[in-house]
Amino acid sequence: MTADFKIDFNFFPNPVSKNLSISCEQMGNYQISVIDLTGRLVLQKQFYGQDFNLNTESLEAGVYSLKLEGSNESVRDPLPRSLYQQSPLR
């Protein structure tokens, strides 16, 4: 039986317009997924480490879910967190 462990992570700024900084408590292999309100995966990146900058300029303004998973299938943040994308100032 495999236990699920929550990944401790923070992200900022929220709302975001260009780059989202993600900071995890532990070093590891991670996959970050951005999902729109219809449940469609709109952006996904993999990274190794504790810190990562995600370029969000390709996202339209709106509300998204942010999901972070570790390389071990038993390690995931069980509840996606809300991310607010705002239009970049031009």
> Taking a C-beta distance cutoff of 8 angstroms, is the pair 10, 23 a contact?
yes
> Residues 9-22: what's their mean pLDDT?
89
Measured in degrees and rounded to the nearest 5, phi and psi for residue 52 equal -150, 140
Q: Beta strand 81-85 with 62-70: parallel, antiparallel or unpaired?
A: antiparallel
In this prediction, residue 1 has a pLDDT band, given cuts at 50, 70 and 90, of: very low
Q: Which residues pair with 47 in a beta bridge?
A: 30
Q: Which residue has the higher pLDDT, 80 or 37?
A: 37
Q: What is the pLDDT of residues 30-76, one digit of tens each?
A: 999 998 889 899 999 999 999 999 999 999 888 898 888 887 643 44
**pTM, entire model:** 0.78
Q: What is the mean pLDDT of residues 14-36?
A: 90
